[in-house]
Amino acid sequence: MNSFKDFGINVESPFCGEKIKISKILNKLVIVKDYKIDESKFEKSNNDKCLCL
């Protein structure tokens, strides 16, 4: 499986647009145009990172 960094997507600007529920995109083609990895706001457990697409 590829890592997001393998796709060569550059993070240069803040995200624009609206948040959507996962139920709106289930079973549909999704094109990732941008992403960022931040610190999670939840208690530290096995992973302290959060992925925003």
Query: Per residue in 30-40, pLDDT tens?
Result: 888 888 888 88
| Rounded Cα distance, 33 and 11, in Å | 9
Name the residue with tokens 């999670």: 40
pTM above 0.85, yes or no: no
How many structural domains does the chain have?
A: 1
- The 10s digit of each residue's pLDDT in 17-31 is 788 888 888 999 988
Q: In whole numbers, what is the pLDDT of the chain averaged over residues?
A: 78
Instruction: Tell me what pLDDT residue 1 has.
Output: 66
Give the range of the structural domain holding residue 32, as residue numbers without chain letter: 1-53
| Rounded Cα distance, 30 and 8, in Å | 17
